[in-house]
Structure 1
Amino acid sequence: MMQPETQSSYGLWSLVIINSAVFIIFAFSFTKPKTQRDWRSFGAFSAFIVALFTEMYGIPLSIYLLLPWLSAKFPGIDFLSHDAGHLPEMIFGWRGNPHLGPFHIASDILIFGGFIMLSSAWRILYLAQQQHRLATTGLYARMRHPQYVAFVLIMFGFLLQWPTIVTLVMFPILVWMYVRLAKSEEQDALAEFGQAYEEYRQKTPAFIPHISARDVPRTRPH
């Protein structure tokens, strides 16, 4: 049974501010938004991060709302302790350190990988914009919108680590918004690059890369 940590688990607004600022500044350093569309994309991600850390360290609104059901379904767990706030680990029976649980590890991989993806994608896009050409190399050779895929991976990673009612509602809305922004960007690219972009669009998937024959490991015949 976990020992109560209620007095020190939440109301830590300095951690809300510090963690939100770190991830928002980190994302800003990669994306460097310039257009109104860029700022909408970055602003939506920032709102998700603030909502997440507000519940993680400030006010656990989702846990308060779900506490009667959680307490009845999983007796013996103090869901107002910070460790128990990692709900996927608790619900699926992980009783060790939640930071070493399978959902948290998967979360770390998605978040870290998402930021690497975001950094790589925006570096390629920035160079292409400076040279007034299409971004078709690196991740852009596999998908047309890797920057939005990266944002979705990061947000989904945080959901695995610390799901809340607010962020679960925000997530599909933000995914829908990113799809809309991607379509809007494509119309601008068509207007600027014409047939060149149409050919690129025909052979390159928007979000989920194709697995081609060259991606499949070949086995030698015995």
Structure 2
Amino acid sequence: MFRTNLLVATLAGTLAYLGLSILGWGGFGAFFDEPPLVALTLVLFVLAGLAPFSGGNLSSGVREDRRNRWVLPVFGVIALLSAFLPAYTDRLDIWTFGGDGVRWLGVFLFAVGGALRIWPVFVLGNRFSGLVAIQPGHRLVTDGIYGLIRHPSYLGLMIASIGWALAFRSGAGLVLVALTLPPLLARIHAEEALLRTEFGEAYEAYCARTSRLIPGIY
């Protein structure tokens, strides 16, 4: 029942997000007359269809850093703006660049980033929460993609966000991506602080041999 409810909620959210983009573009006919945007929509629904089966949740678990909850409404506002504004500015040709090549690059990055966003959620399962929290039976995962970077899902989010902006050739969309960085970094620091208190020296050693987001750089 929980998974069914989550699937319905995810589908509703995806339809609302896409609806804002279609509204910004000026209607269904105009939006789906653009092949890159049709492809973008297909990728969006594939990712949305996979998400409810990943095991991720919004549980506060056995211990949560509630001080970091402020980032959730911030992410929400940026998401709403990202759904509408890039499409709207593209339609009006305001602060746009490139042509169909940029659009297709955006679709590609959105697909790659979306896959990277959801892959770690499947790896962690119910240990992956939308809140900064330690879950029951929580253990430190340090292999696979986590052997390279500590926050692969957030890297995927940034790549997908850049891809979404490029699919609409939108400079405004790229500004919104930049505005995502401060709350995202605050979230990362909060997560790492909580994991340090939970796993101690093991987590310190893990941090010493991995990067936060970009292998070998940060």
**TM-score w.r.t. length of structure 1:** 0.60
- Distance verdict in 2 for CA 1:111–1:61, change over 3 Å: closer
Contact 1:33 1:42 in 2 (8 A): no
Which residue does the alignment assign to 1:106? 105
Where do 4+ consecutive residues of structure 1 move more than 6 Å?
A: none
- Return the alpha-carbon distance in structure 2 between the equivalents of residues 124 and 39 of structure 1: 26
8 A Cα contact 2:149 2:214, kept in partner:
yes
SS at match of 2:97: helix
Report how far residue 119 of structure 1 moved. 2.0
Is the counterpart of residue 141 in structure 1 residue 142 in structure 2?
Answer: no
Deviates more, 1:107-116 or 1:27-36: 27-36
Shift of the alpha carbon at 1:51? Answer: 2.5
1:189 and 1:197 in contact (8 A); partners too: yes
Cα gap change, 1:158/1:107 in structure 2, threshold over 3 Å: closer, same or farther?
same
Which of 133, 157, 163 aligns to 1:151? It is 157
- Residue identity over aligned pairs, in percent, reads 20
Q: 2:182, 2:57 → 1: CA distance?
A: 22
Q: 1:133 to 1:190 in 2, by over 3 A?
A: same
Superposed CA RMSD: 3.6
Alignment partner of 1:88: what SS? coil
Structure 1 residue 177: deviation in Å?
1.4
CA contact (8 A) 2:103 2:169 kept: no
Q: 1:41 to 1:22 in 2, by over 3 A?
A: farther
Q: Is the 8 A contact 2:47 2:115 kept in 1?
A: no
Runs of at least 5 residues in structure 2 that lack an aligned partner in the other structure:
1-24, 32-40, 61-65, 128-134
Contact 2:85 2:173 in 1 (8 A): no
> Max radius of gyration: which structure?
1
- Give the conservation status (yes or no) of the 8 Å contact 2:110–2:160: yes
Moved more, 171-180 or 158-167: 158-167
Match of 1:50 in 2: 80
Residue identity opposite 2:97 in structure 1:
P
Offset of 1:159 from its aligned partner? 1.6
- Partner secondary structure for residue 98 of structure 2: helix
1:88 corresponds to 2:97: yes
Which ranges of structure 1 fall in alignment gaps of 5 or more residues?
A: 1-8, 71-86, 91-97, 212-222
- Quick one: distance in 1 between partners of 2:26 and 2:122? 38
Change (3 A) 1:175 1:23: farther
The answer to whether the Cα contact below 8 Å between 1:124 and 1:137 also exists between their aligned partners in 2 is: no
